[in-house]
Amino acid sequence: MLTGEQVRERIVGYVDAVNSRDPHAIADRFTEDAVHADPVSNPPNLGRTAIIAFFESGIAASDGWTFEARAVHTCGDHVAIDFAIAVDSGGTTMGIEGIEVFAVADDGLFRSVHAYWDDADLTFG
């Protein structure tokens, strides 16, 4: 099992990958059979190919984004982050604030992530 510090390092890498807007770099952080639910009220993306498609769609629909993990909380092979993302599209910025909970495999890849946010967590400016 990874240490809490090693898990935090995986989150730093994830944030960097998300901000790179490279769907393959993001998906490479996950196991082949990972479950990615963003938000959890939507059907999950199952496996790396589906995770790539999810991020390709978000990239195509936006001009840019900034993703940050404002707080990171580890517990064994799980980690929860308080996140914020500002998505720019057509001169407007949409903000989302929420929580993501990850399960981490022994090799440091994410087995799953579940994002918790809804319409009340959206801002537009």
The H or E element that residue 96 is part of is strand 92-104
CATH number for position 118 = 3.10.450.50
In this prediction the pTM is 0.97
Per residue in 69-124, pLDDT tens?
999 999 999 999 999 999 999 999 999 999 999 999 999 999 999 999 999 999 99
Per residue in 4-25, pLDDT tens?
999 999 999 999 999 999 999 9
Range of the structural domain that residue 86 is part of: 4-124
DSSP string for 4-23: HHHHHHHHHHHHHHHHHT-H
The total domain count for the chain is 1
Residue with tokens 């809490």: 4
Phi and psi at 123, nearest 5°, equal -135, 155
Query: Quick one: CA torsion of 25, 80, 40, 14, rounded to 10 degrees?
Result: -10
